[in-house]
Amino acid sequence: MPYPPNKTKMNNKEYIERGRFAPSPTGRMHLGNVFSALLSWLSIKAQGGKWVLRIEDIDPQRSRMEYADLIMDDLEWLGLTWDEGPFYQSERGEIYEAELQKLADRGMTYPCYCTRADILATQAPHESDGRVVYKGTCRNLKPGTHSGPAAVRMRVPEEGEGIVSFVDGHYGEQIVDLTTQCGDFIVRRKDGAWAYQLAVVVDDAMMGITEVVRGRDLLLSSPQQIYLAKELGFAPPRFTHLPLLCNTEGQRLSKRDRSLDMEALRSRFEAEDIIGLLAYKAGLQKSPNRVTAEELVAGFDWSNIGITDIEF
């Protein structure tokens, strides 16, 4: 059964802010993950809310339980303890199946037989981040035209009717045309694995998440998730995106930067050193003094954090 119940239905007296940190256990956390976790934790704690830990292990080829254990160990070492969870997406397949069926019954989904190579061969990247907008090759295929494994795509409205607007908690008003900027998006992969967009929308609703904090590279995912949530009858959470940590060449820090993963960092620094440096880089304190996450809660304010990416 979904747990906990959707807190968005609570009356104002019982309402509690609920944020979540939802890492994918495909390797150890690196400094960029820690930065996102820290700001998510501070944002919800400053509102007196609860921080929910969800393990997004829906990719069976890459996710490993030992990586999830390492992530939780790192979070506890940093002082970023969670109030509920961990919840594992790999255990929630029946819930996703039921929600996907609701969409299928309304004709909102269709099978897609295209490979990534097919898509890249027929359409160049549209978005500045290299995202390819699917042009709907399989949208109106007659049943029986193709056979074999197929992904499942969610239909977006026709051009001019798919405008989604929302106010990001840090980057302000966002207006996105799903038709021209996203296209019909995948809700279940060809190998049967659940797609990120469907799983997080269902889980955020079922777990009563009211605030999602994550890197600005996921800004374009928000309108897709808002659209999907509304089609499923859910109230979408607030979205707040944060600047990325980048190297001196402007490239986002990633698992390739092994000197900045938690195994390397813990061998050289104490938790207060890392928290203090990240707080300084974020604009939460004037110097990189050692500090605990708990000590930052009282003075936390999103207005102190810039919108440009942070060179590290």
Annotated binding site for ATP: which residue ranges? 255
Annotated binding site for L-glutamate: 20-24, 56, 196, 214
Q: What is the DSSP letter of 252?
A: B
Which helix (DSSP H) or strand (DSSP E) does residue 101 occupy? helix 93-105
Using DSSP, state whether 225 is helix, strand or coil: helix
C-alpha dihedral, 41 to 78 to 70 to 189, nearest 10°: 20
Q: Pairing state of beta strands 18-21 and 50-55?
A: parallel
Annotated binding site for Zn(2+): 112, 114, 134, 138
Q: Are residues 56 and 23 in contact, defined by beta-carbon separation less than 8 angstroms?
A: yes
Q: What does the block give as tokens for 295?
A: 């000590």
Could you tell me the CA-to-CA distances from 156 to 98, 151, 167 in Å, in that order? 20, 16, 21
Using DSSP, state whether 28 is helix, strand or coil: coil
Q: What does the block give as tokens for 12?
A: 């104002």
Q: How far apart are CA 90 and CA 63, in angstroms?
A: 10
Q: What does the block give as tokens for 57?
A: 């292990």
Annotated binding site: 20-24, 56, 112, 114, 134, 138, 196, 214, 255
Q: What does the block give as tokens for 123?
A: 């359409």
Q: What is the DSSP letter of 142?
A: P
